[in-house]
Amino acid sequence: MTDQQPTELFTIHGDAIIGPTGRPKHEFPEPLPLDSHGPARIIAMVNQKGGVGKTTSAINLGAALAGYGRRVLMVDFDPQGALSAGFGAAPHDLDTTVYNVLMDRSVSVHDALIRTHVPGVDLLPANIDLSAAEVQLVTEVGREQVLERALRQVRDDYDVILIDCQPSLGLLTVNALTAAHGVIIPLVAEFFALRAVALLKETIEKVQDRINPDLEVDGVLVTMVDLRTTHAKEVIQRIVEAFGDKVFETVIKRSVKFPDATVAAEPITNYATKHEGAKAYRQLARELILRGASA
């Protein structure tokens, strides 16, 4: 990985500047401050393939949205607890997590919430206990709606609730899709990653048809891009052909700063404020708000 690449890759077509996705580049304005908060739009970050920058994108998008005055709840819905660790929590030392909220009706979301060091961002953490929920929920009545019922308790307290899903399409991910209003699909700019998305699209469509007709794809986020390579450019073109306007104009380039920020348990927007990665996630937050997929 390297930071020694151009800050952007543009071409000029007539009077328009064409960005990495092959479409005219726009400047997304700073969002206006909110007069009040809530109810939250619930967004699931989903891709059943690991290593696509899903948790990194969740952390940095959440922090960027909070930087624009949005109250954000981050929900760690992966037994690996990477999102929790990314905000400085020690998953294995936690007594109360999202698992307890799901499986014990006497435990509320408020009992498990952690106030993070990032202003405006709260965390509903997870650890390895959550892996047991996949099995235990099978016998539950309304098993797909357990997370949705839990989040009702706090939806009015936040503007955005971001759910970081585990890399699978099991019952936990179906719970996240059932609770969500929108889906963001992080997609690495590689052909193998693109091939895996067909199954995810099928799962989303099944949830829309059978459980949550209001669910929609808020956007496809191209991550871990090296814009100098022909391969990356070709994959981005294929992604745009497959998803059209659902593809975010913002792309996230590969950088050594992201793992550095992860080790420091900081969003890159805090760790390296002026870095291209921080600028990209702030741009993504503005684009998401402008699309109406956030308050």
**pLDDT tens digit string along 207-247?**
999 999 999 999 999 998 888 888 888 889 888 988 899 99
- Classified as helix, coil or strand, 18 is strand
Average pLDDT over residues 20-31: 79
pLDDT tens digit string along 65-96? 999 999 999 999 999 999 999 999 998 899 99
| Predicted structure pTM score | 0.90
Task: For each of the domains in the chain, give its residue range(s) and CATH number, in order of start.
Answer: 37-290 (3.40.50.300)
The whole-number pLDDT of residue 230 equals: 87
pLDDT tens digit string along 269-293? 888 888 999 999 999 999 999 987 5
Say if CB 24 and CB 11 are below 8 A apart: no
How far, in Å, CA of 98 to CA of 108, rounded? 9
Confidence of residue 294 (pLDDT cuts 50, 70, 90): low
Amino acid at 266: E
How far, in Å, CA of 224 to CA of 51, rounded? 10
Mean pLDDT across the chain: 89
What's the per-residue H, E or C state across the chain? CCCCCCCCCCEEECCEEECCCCCECCCCCCCCCCCCCCCCEEEEECCCCCCCCHHHHHHHHHHHHHHCCCCEEEEEECCCCHHHHHCCCCHHHCCCCHHHHHHCCCCCHHHHCEECCCCCEEEECCCCCHHHHHHHHHHCCCHHHHHHHHHCCCHHHCCEEEEEECCCCCHHHHHHHHHCCEEEEEEECCHHHHHCHHHHHHHHHHHHHHCCCCCEEEEEEEEEECCCCHHHHHHHHHHHHHHHHHEEEEEEECCCHHHHHHHCCCCHHHHCCCCHHHHHHHHHHHHHHHCCCCC
The whole-number pLDDT of residue 9 equals: 46
* C-alpha triplet 172, 176, 181: angle, nearest 5°: 165
Kind plus residue range of the DSSP H or E element containing 197: helix 197-210
